[in-house]
């Protein structure tokens, strides 16, 4: 899957997983930080995003430093997924 | 032990969230009475609303309505009674445990599945870090929460207690019921104080719970309160339409209450659930303040004086029996 399509898919999955009912995919800036600023997500959301990576993409992120980097933004999530897919 | 009612907040199958206690919504023939919910965006911030399950919205919405009706007065204790608590999210969480083999569990249904989630979330939102308790005692849950509040206020270490009764409808639980009755849900919160809020404050004079009591428990309760049965201006009975449950009330109507007793029923308006007596208390308090009961709740008109001394009697499956004496 190309990154652009993956980013759009992730936006929809994030809205669904985090119950962001008032948002549409267009409201999410893929380059904006997911936590504190941007969507203003918190630690419970981080857990849900890790689950999303595991359930939807089969990727387990064990290392805390790697988690932080992978969940910086929607773009970062997409890059992380693509890099792991290419490794696989 | 007693307490004064400062304000109420009730979300129920009637439009009570607007303080409309006319109980005019027709419920005849319905098997399930869902709560009519307000627009929560006026009561709960969107950020907090996002992760809330329905029972949390019901409970926190009703608590916030109660605080708003008290002019923003803050309680120093939060006590909730609930029979099944967050049962729907508990079902989701247990189901996901089975389906995933205890792996990769989402945290949100877990957070929302605990019995004390509503009391905890109310405390978090109101920023009240003092006494916080949740009582789960089947059909006497709300009354146990009230008793807890009365004892706290009696000790005078707390001045205002926010007491709630909450339960949500669960289709799974409904399917397990041996005898189907009109089933409802609701969240009622009451701000109680050790001092009257004004000249016309409604007083909760006494609350008592019983498990499978003997014959004379109501007579003994009234004697302890120095209230002869003929002095009662009205009696609220928890009739639910199930002949075997209602037979308990009919025996009292035939043999104990004087023939001119005004009889009020409410479960055709709110449905049967473990904490339906929170609906009854709100209805009684509102009717005492208004000087009359709404017509749809009147089972037998009886005496016509303005209600001042009102007895609330409810039982749940003829096991948990509860009494409250409420006075104007």
Kindly indicate the confidence band of residue B50, based on its pLDDT and cuts at 50, 70 and 90.
Answer: confident
CB B108 within 8 A of CB A19: yes
B97: closest CA of chain A, how far (Å): 14
CB B85 within 8 A of CB B121: no
Joined together, the tokens standing for residue B81 give 């009674």
CB B328 within 8 A of CB B252: no
Q: How far apart are CA B66 and CA B189, in angstroms?
A: 6
Helix (H, G, I), strand (E, B) or coil at B73: coil
pLDDT reported for residue B51: 87
Among B23-27, B137-141, B258-262, the least confident range: B23-27
CATH number for the domain spanning A19: value is: 1.10.1200.10
- Across the beta sheet with B263-265, what order do the strands follow? B131-135, B77-81, B160-167, B186-193, B3-11, B202-211, B320-327, B309-316, B234-237, B263-265, B298-300
Domain count, chain A: 1
CB B83 within 8 A of CB B73: no
Could you tell me which CATH class the domain B3-193 is placed in?
alpha beta
Closest by CA to B121, choosing from B72, B73, B86, B69, is B86
pLDDT reported for residue B157: 87
Contact A55 B47 (CB under 8 A): no
Q: How far apart are CA B43 and CA B207, in angstroms?
A: 30
Closest by CA to B286, choosing from B191, B163, B188, B202, is B202
**CATH 3.40.47.10 residue window(s) in chain B:** 3-193, 202-327
Contact B106 A48 (CB under 8 A): yes
**What is the Cα B105 distance to its own chain's centre?**
33
Inform me whether the pLDDT recorded for B145 exceeds 70. Answer: yes
Element containing residue B61 per DSSP (H, E) = helix B54-69
pLDDT reported for residue B103: 83
Overall average pLDDT of the A72-81 stretch? 96
Q: In this complex, which of A20, A40, A44 lies closest to B107 when CB atoms are compared?
A: A44
Percent of chain B with pLDDT over 70: 100
**Chains A and B: how many Cβ contacts under 8 Å?**
21
Contact A20 B104 (CB under 8 A): no
Contact B50 A48 (CB under 8 A): no
Joined together, the tokens standing for residue A26 give 């267009």
Inform me whether the pLDDT recorded for A72 exceeds 70. Answer: yes
In tens, the pLDDT along B272-296 reads: 999 999 999 999 999 999 999 999 9
Q: Does A27 touch chain B (CB under 8 A)?
A: no
B93: closest CA of chain A, how far (Å): 14
Domain span holding position A58: 3-87
Q: In this complex, which of A22, A44, A55 lies closest to B46 when CB atoms are compared?
A: A22
CB B267 within 8 A of CB B289: no
Inform me whether the pLDDT recorded for B28 exceeds 90. Answer: no
Which residues from chain B sit within 8 angstroms of residue A48, using beta carbons? 106-108
Q: CB within 8 A of B93, min separation 6: which ones?
A: B105, B109, B110, B113
Q: In this complex, which of A19, A47, A55 lies closest to B50 when CB atoms are compared?
A: A19
CATH number for region B202-327: 3.40.47.10
Percent of chain B with pLDDT over 90: 84
Q: In this complex, which of B50, B108, B111 lies closest to A20 when CB atoms are compared?
A: B50
B105: closest CA of chain A, how far (Å): 8
């Amino acid at each position: 899957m190309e990154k652009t399509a993956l980013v759009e898919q992730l936006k929809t999955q994030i809205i669904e997983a985090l119950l962001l009912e008032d948002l549409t995919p267009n409201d999410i800036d893929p380059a904006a930080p997911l936590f504190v600023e941007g969507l203003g997500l918190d630690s419970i959301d981080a857990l849900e995003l890790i689950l999303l990576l595991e359930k939807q993409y089969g990727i387990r992120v064990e290392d805390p430093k790697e988690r932080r980097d992978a969940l910086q933004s929607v773009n970062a999530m997409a890059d992380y997924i693509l890099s792991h897919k290419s490794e696989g | 032990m007693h307490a004064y009612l400062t304000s109420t907040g009730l979300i129920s199958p009637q439009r009570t969230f607007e303080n409309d206690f006319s109980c005019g919504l027709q419920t005849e023939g319905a098997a399930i009475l869902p709560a009519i919910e307000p627009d929560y965006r006026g009561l709960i911030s969107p950020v907090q609303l996002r992760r809330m399950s329905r029972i949390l919205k019901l409970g926190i919405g009703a608590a916030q309505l109660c605080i708003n009706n008290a002019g923003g007065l803050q309680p120093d204790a939060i006590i909730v009674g609930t029979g099944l608590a967050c049962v729907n999210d508990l079902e989701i969480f247990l189901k996901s445990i089975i389906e995933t083999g205890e792996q990769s569990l989402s945290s949100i249904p877990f957070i929302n599945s605990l019995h004390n989630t509503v009391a905890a979330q109310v405390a978090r939102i109101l920023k009240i870090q003092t006494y916080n308790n949740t009582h789960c005692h089947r059909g006497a849950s709300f009354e146990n929460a009230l008793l807890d509040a009365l004892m706290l206020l009696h000790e005078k270490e707390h001045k205002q207690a926010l007491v709630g009764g909450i339960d949500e409808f669960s289709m799974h639980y409904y399917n397990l019921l041996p005898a189907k009755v009109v089933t409802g849900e609701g969240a009622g919160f009451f701000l109680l104080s050790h001092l009257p809020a004004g000249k016309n404050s409604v007083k909760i004079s006494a609350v008592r719970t019983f498990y499978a009591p003997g014959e004379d428990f109501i007579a003994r309760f009234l004697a302890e309160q120095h209230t002869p049965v003929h002095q009662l201006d009205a009696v609220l009975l928890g009739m639910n339409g199930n002949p075997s449950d209602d037979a308990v009330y009919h025996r009292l109507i035939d043999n104990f209450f004087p023939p001119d007793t005004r009889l009020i029923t409410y479960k055709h308006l709110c449905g049967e659930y473990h904490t339906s007596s929170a609906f009854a208390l709100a209805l009684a308090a509102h009717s005492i303040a208004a000087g009359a009961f709404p017509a749809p709740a009147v089972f037998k008109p009886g005496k016509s004086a303005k209600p001042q001394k009102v007895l609330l009697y409810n039982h749940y499956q003829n096991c948990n029996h509860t009494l409250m004496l409420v006075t104007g």
